[in-house]
Amino acid sequence: MKYIVGNWKMNLSVRESVALVRGVLRSIQGCEQLPHIVLCPSATALSEAHKLLTRTHIALGAQNAGPDRAGAMTGEIGIAQLEDVGCKYAILGHSERRLKFAESDELVRERLSAVLASDLTPILCVGEPAEVRAAGKEEAYILKQLKLALAGQKIPKGKTLIVAYEPVWAIGSGSPAAPAQAMAMHHVIREYLKSEFKLSGERVAVLYGGSVDGKNAYQFLREPEIDGLLVGGASLKIEAFGQILDSACEVMQAQLSV
Ligand code: 13P
């Protein structure tokens, strides 16, 4: 099963968000083999999006969460509030949070811990900056991010941990990683989660993100090592996002008929 996650970031009014949710619902009509689809609008639009997504095959996700269920944390959105508006997933540790808002590995760990204790499924983002890759140190960098986020955590039975590999240099740049680069890193991530947390099969999913569009999505999705995509800019355009969903449906249909 593939995952297609749309991260709308700090974009769209409530009205525009509702229109896009409707567009995505229309675009999956007639698709027999649907991937897990998660839409992550801005916090301002979560409630309205939830009304449209109830009893559909599309889940709602938040762009950040916690680091607690509720409390004195100005500007944050508590896990209980996210559950209240129907969120089932939460993106954590996005590089825009880490770099622009100085979210530390420790804070990402706390957020992950709160999400793991809730009904939400975490989508933990990791990704190396360009200079780290240029120095050939990307594997060590990603493993360190994973290790710090997961330090002391227990992944409850029945919970899926989703990790999104999003190289910083590929985000919003128009230059995605080569599928081979993504696959190599996905292998490293998967092996780590298997050896340290005994996570395998349905309990773990590794997604790729960074300049995915309607044209290149298929070349990532056809690789078994790539469980899905975390899409930014292209998830705001219904045509491109529709093509990405079609690619996922096509790959999953092909896998069924093997
Ligand atoms: P783009 O798809 O716009 O490169 O963004 C990727 C991303 O950051 C998704 O979380």
Average pLDDT over residues 95-120: 98
The answer to whether 211 and 204 have CB atoms below 8 angstroms apart is no
Does residue 257 have a pLDDT over 80?
no
pLDDT tens for 133-153 read 999 999 999 999 999 999 999
pLDDT greater at residue 256 or residue 197: 197
* 94 is an active site residue: yes
Q: 80: part of which helix (H) or strand (E)?
A: helix 79-84
- Segment 69-75 mean pLDDT: 97
Query: Other CB atoms closer than 10 Å to residue 102's CB: what's the count?
Result: 8
Average pLDDT value for the chain: 96
Res 43: pLDDT: 98
Given the structure tokens 């409707």, which residue do they identify?
Answer: 22
93 lines ligand 1 (CB under 6 A): no
Cα 217–Cα 124–Cα 82 angle in degrees, nearest 5 = 105
Q: Taking the complete model, does pTM exceed 0.95, yes or no?
A: yes
Q: What is the pLDDT of residue 256?
A: 80
Output the six-digit token pair for 122.
Answer: 């975490």
pLDDT at 258 over 80: no
- With a pLDDT cut of 70, the percent of the chain lying above it is 100
Check 50, 94, 128, 138 and give the catalytic one: 94
Question: Residue 187 has what pLDDT?
Answer: 97
pLDDT of amino acid 56 = 94
Q: What is the mean pLDDT of residues 77-86?
A: 98
Radius of gyration over every alpha carbon of the chain, rounded to an integer in angstroms? 17
For residue range 222-247, list pLDDT tens digits in order: 999 999 999 999 999 999 999 999 99
CA of 257 to the centre of ligand 1 (A): 31
- 142, 185 Cβ separation under 8 angstroms: yes
**Predicted local distance difference test score (pLDDT) of residue 32:** 81
Q: Is 168 in the pocket of ligand 1 (CB under 6 A)?
A: no
Which pLDDT does position 33 carry in this prediction? 86
- Whether residue 166 has its Cβ less than 6 Å from ligand 1: yes
Percent of the chain with pLDDT over 90: 94
Say which residues have a Cβ less than 8 Å from residue 163's Cβ, sequence separation at least 6: 123, 124, 125, 126, 146, 189, 193, 204, 205, 206, 207
Instruction: Work out the pLDDT band at 189, boundaries 50, 70, 90.
Output: very high
* pLDDT tens per residue across span 1-57: 999 999 999 999 999 999 999 999 999 998 888 999 999 999 999 999 999 999 999
The pLDDT score that the predictor gives to residue 47 is 98
Spacing, Cα 71 to ligand 1 middle (Å): 30
CA distance 136 to 159: 33
Q: Report the alpha-carbon distance of residue 238 to residue 234 in Å, rounded.
A: 8
| pLDDT average, residue stretch 87-112 | 98
